[in-house]
Amino acid sequence: MKYLWVFGFLSIGLLQAQNLDKYLWKNRVILLFESNRYKSGYQEQLEVLQLVSEELLERDIVTLTPKNGEKPLFLENLGLENDFYGLVLLGKDGGIKLKEEFVVKPQIIFRLIDAMPMRRAEMRKKNRPN
């Protein structure tokens, strides 16, 4: 239950974040875009992510929902269409790694991240004896 609280804090506490610079090379970022936050796809995506909050933390993932469902200006540079609503995964390098409509299964996100060279290095370092 501790992790559910942490996930909730991350996603709610960062709703108004408009600049991703502070996450570069520290966190992977999941952005959730929905024109109406009460739509079932958005809500279901949140619920699915809350169920795997421990795995999100393990992979240094933070979840952000832009204020009022608007897309921050910095995303225009990434080529994100104005009419896209769904989940976007940004790597620690700030690049788009996944862009899908709701609902994205966590296993898809984890498989993608776990295949990344940086994540593989993190796992090796974690498993290395001191």
DSSP class per residue in 76-89: GGGT--TT--EEEE
Looking at residue 11, what is its pLDDT? 44
Maximum distance among all Cα pairs of the chain, rounded to whole angstroms: 49
Looking at residue 73, what is its pLDDT? 63
Looking at residue 120, what is its pLDDT? 96
Residue positions counted in the chain: 130
**What 3-state DSSP class applies to 122?**
helix
Bridge pairing between strands 61-64 and 86-90: unpaired
Q: What's the whole-model pTM score?
A: 0.81
Looking at residue 6, what is its pLDDT? 43
- Low-confidence residues of the chain, pLDDT below 50? 1-17
pLDDT digits (tens, 9 = 90+) for 16-39: 435 788 899 999 999 998 877 658
Looking at residue 8, what is its pLDDT? 46
**How far does Cα 116 stand from its chain's mean position?**
15
Looking at residue 20, what is its pLDDT? 80
Return the CATH superfamily for domain 2-127. Glutaredoxin (3.40.30.10)
